[in-house]
Every structure is written in C-alpha cells, then in structure tokens.
Amino acid sequence: MIRLAIVAVCFVALSGAIVGRMVYVNINDRDFLQEQGDLRTIRLERINAHRGMIRDRLGKPLAISSPVVSLWANPNELLSSSSDLNQLATMLKVDPEEFADRLENSRSRSFVYLRRHMPPPEAEKILSLSLPGLYSEKEYHRFYPAGEVAAHLVGVTNIDDRGQEGVELAFDQWLTGVPGKKKVLKNLYGDIVADIMPVADAVPGRDIELAMDLRLQYLAYRELKAAIQRHEAQSGSIIVLDVASGSVLAMANQPSYNPNNRQRLDIATVRNRAVTDAFEPGSTLKPFTVAVALESGSHHPLSRIDTSPGFVRVDDKTIPDPRDMGELNLGDILAHSSQVGISKLALTLDPFAVRDLLADVGIGQIPGSGFPGESQGYLPNHRRWTDIERATLAYGYGVTTTPLQLANAYLAIARGGVRKQITLLAEEQTSTIRVMSEQTASQLTRMLAKVVSDGTGGQAHIQGYTVAGKTGTVRKLGESGYEDTRHLAFFAGFAPVQDPELVAVVMINDPAGDANGGGSVAAPVFGSVMSGAMRILKVAPDQQVAMSKGGGDAHG
C-alpha cells in the first residue's frame, strides 16, 4: 500500500513538473520555439521572372517566353525511398541503369537536375508519382516564332535563359527580369504545403522593339537562300537599311540555323556573318575614290582619264581591264568598273585624303550598332604610300570591311553626304556627321545610277524605280595568293535615286560556275529584294525621273 502511494505521489509530481515546464516554455520560450519551428518548415522560394519579349517594328513577336517546369532531385532522398525508380526513368525517357548510376554518383549533392524545360502537363504526370526527393521548379523557355529567318539578328538564349547571341546577348540586361521571393511552408519531405506570403514580386524583363521589319526580313532571307543554292555558293549576307533613320530593316545570312531546335547545331552557322566577317570589298569602294577626286576641286564628273591600252604598270604590278576602253570620264570609270581608270585617278590624289574619307564613312571602324562581335575590319594607314598601295586601295584590295560597314558607307551617299550611325532599335535617335559635300554626293549618285542603267549593275534594275549602286567582284585570297577561280560577289546600292528610301548590300561568298561576278550573282538578289521592299513599304515609283549624264558601261 505504501509502495503504491509512493508511485502515485511520484507520478503526480512528475506530471506536475511536465505541466509546469510546458507552461514555463509556452510563456518564456514561446518566441524561441516558434522561430526554431519556422526554421525547419518555412523557406524562401524564388519566383522566376519571364524574359522581355522581342518584337519587330510592327509589333510581331520575334522572341517570347513560355512557362515550363524543370524537375530536380535530392539523390539521397530519392535513392533511400522504397519506390521503383524504373518507372521514373521510363517517364524521363532515359535508360534505367544509367539513371540509377547517375543518382548514385551524385549522392554527395543535394540538388541534381533530372530534366529541364518540360511542358507542364508532362511534368505533372511525373510529379504525380509523389516520389520522396523529387521536386519541381517553374521556369521559362524561349521560343522564336520566325525560326531561322531571323535567327542571326535576334540571337538565342541558353538553357538558363541568358542571352548568347544576337540581340538576346546585346540587350541581355534589358531583357532579363528580376526574380521575386515568397515564403512557403514545407513538410518533412520538402514539398510545399502552402504559400505564406510574397516577399518581393518578380519584375519581368523589358520588352524590346527592333527596327527590323519581319516582312522585309523574310523577303531578304528567301532571295538570299535561293541565290546561294542556285550558285552553289559557300555563304552569303544581305543587309537592308532605312535611309532616314539608319536603322536595320533586314539582316540575313546563309547558311542559317533553327534557334528552336539546336540538338544538331553546326556552330559555324551561328555567327552573324554580315557583322562579324570582314572581306576585301573590291570595286564597291571605287565611288569613294571618285568622291575624293570631286571634293579636291581638281576633277569634275566629266574629267577624262585615258585607260589605253587596257592596262597600266604600277610599280612592278600590271593592273588590267577586260579590254581597252580608251578615254573615260569619272562616271564611265564607275559604270565600266575600270581598274585602270580608278588606279590612274587615285595616283593623282592625296592617299591620306582617300584613306580619311573611307574612315569617315565607316570603313575600318566599329559600326557601333551594339551588335555583339562587330568586326572593325582593316583600313591601312601607311606613313608613306607606295603607288601600288594607293591603286589597290582605290579599287578595294588591301582593305577589309563587313557588309554592315559597307552598307553604312553607302548610306552616307544616299543621305546626301551625311553619315548616320546604324541602329538595331526602332525609334532610336543616332548621331550624324557630314563626310562629303551635298554636291559631291549628288554627283556620285548620278554616276552610280548609270552603273545600273548602262553599266555592270544592270541586273539590279527595279521596274518603275531608278537605282544607284556599284558591283564588286573580288578574287579570294588563298594559300598561294589570289585565286582565279574563287570569288566574292558584291552589290551595294540604294533606291529610289531621287529620294532614297532604302540602302542594301548583298555579298555572295564563293559562287560556283562561270557567272561569279557581282553584276551576275549579287545584283539580281539586290533587285529582287528591293523590288519587293518598295511594294511592301508602298514607296512611290520614280521611273519618270530623268537622270542627267555623268557616266556610261561593264567589269566589277
């Protein structure tokens, strides 16, 4: 009886002590215990922000972000569960043995991605297995509606939604959103039981409107691709600029790639050749030597140069024309693309003046459009110029330029002698600088119009419109010097002549066959693209405009 009483007293005392402790803890340590509980169950979760949209000048989407789900796992938790992982591996479309080995080798880590960027319905099916250690994260995946048509200009992001090429890289800081945060309640297995409260809202990335017109972009892409296939060329580029704003309306390259499917991507197709690849521009630089001659005051459009007997010796080199063209005025030199004529003209000019004008119009300079990887090209700057260096510079050898730089140079002529900085963005105001007199630009324009009406650029003609431009055919440099069978074909020009709206440059790299010149390969692409662009933009025809005499006929 005494023992029972002792036990009862002890039990009551112990119970009292426990109750007393509970009361004490709840009164004095309540905040501490609550904090410890929160530390074990409440977590801060990131709220991913979607990337800004890229649109063309008419608001058509070029890059958009769609919601996706990424699955990840804690290998230890997943392997420690009694669940059969074969079903998970099958649903992830991976080999079960390789999947198990991968998890086993990752036991030291608490976070391993199983599959990135899954469509939400597919991810939900896998999550419905309710496997311990299997988690999900909401992300965004970039989609490009225009596909390979605009791939080089728009660019791509990587799997982490960071810009890697093109506009996506150039304006990555603008496009990237700021992730938000929220407090969530998690259970023992790490599953989110409830959202408690937002801590910071996710801020979406900034949308960007490009100057590109998707209608013109598709037109340029289609015509360039057809020409590359027709001439079995190695590659090619085309750029179309708006004369008034200096903005890039279209920029296409071949070969291209599909930014929405990069599983078998050839890295050589990714770079934007119109911006990154520099080539010797050949005869497309001749108008700028003529411009220096006009600006010097010692020459005028009808100044005559004797090109007989069809070649000229400069230092130890012989510079030939296809035939003896006799006396040519400055316009004839451009229309017939006479190497002899432009070389003799260059030897009458200050070489530093020719070099300075080329630099002023953007040759050998970073264009400054903001596009990543812009090439500076090469513009020689000799302390003393030999005669052969003066001559070759005049007809575009010994100097390298990108199609974008060449387009910028012709933009200066189309704008009446005022160079304007190129821009990729719609409605962006850029700087201007006068590089030649308005009179010189006007005289040069009339001569370039004769190149198309009576000279080497006849296939750049557009029905109902006058066109000014220049062909260029450059022998490619090989291991043993310039090769006779491999060429670069150029056409650079603008239209309409009376009030220019568009400038375009076409470059075809290494066309096959006998028809490999700028006049037969690049000029037709220019004509097709510009003809379609005039209709799309509703530019009024100017066929009735009469051009004054300044030049006259072909090589280039």
In 3D space, the residue among 146, 123, 145 whose CA is nearest the CA of residue 134 turns out to be 123
User: Would you tell me the crossing angle of helices 351-360 and 286-296 to the nearest 10 degrees?
Assistant: 120
Tens of each residue's pLDDT in the chain, 556 residues: 777 777 777 777 777 667 666 665 566 555 554 554 554 455 566 677 889 999 999 999 999 999 999 998 888 888 877 667 888 888 998 998 888 888 888 888 888 999 999 999 999 999 888 888 888 888 899 999 999 999 999 999 999 999 999 999 999 999 998 877 766 555 555 555 555 556 667 788 999 999 999 999 999 999 999 999 999 999 999 999 999 999 999 999 999 999 999 888 898 899 999 999 999 999 999 999 999 999 999 999 999 999 999 999 999 999 999 999 999 999 999 999 999 999 999 999 999 999 999 999 999 999 999 999 999 999 999 999 999 999 999 999 999 999 999 999 999 999 999 999 999 999 899 999 999 999 999 999 999 999 999 999 999 999 999 999 999 999 998 888 889 889 999 999 999 999 999 999 999 999 998 889 999 999 999 999 999 999 999 999 987 644 443 433 345 6
CA dist., res. 395 & res. 515, Å (int): 21
Write out the catalytic residue numbers. 283
In 3D space, the residue among 266, 282, 248, 327 whose CA is nearest the CA of residue 502 turns out to be 248
SS3 assignment, position 261: coil
In 3D space, the residue among 78, 444, 84, 491 whose CA is nearest the CA of residue 295 turns out to be 444
Residues 6+ apart with CB under 8 A from 265: 257
Q: What's the burial of 27, exposed, middle or buried (CB within 10 Å: 0-12/13-18/19+)?
A: exposed
In eight-state DSSP terms, residue 519 is I
In the chain the domains, ranked by start, together with CATH numbers, are 45-209 (3.90.1310.10), 214-257+274-536 (3.40.710.10)
Q: What is the pTM for the complete model shown?
A: 0.87
Characterize the bridge pairing of strands 208-209 and 54-55: parallel
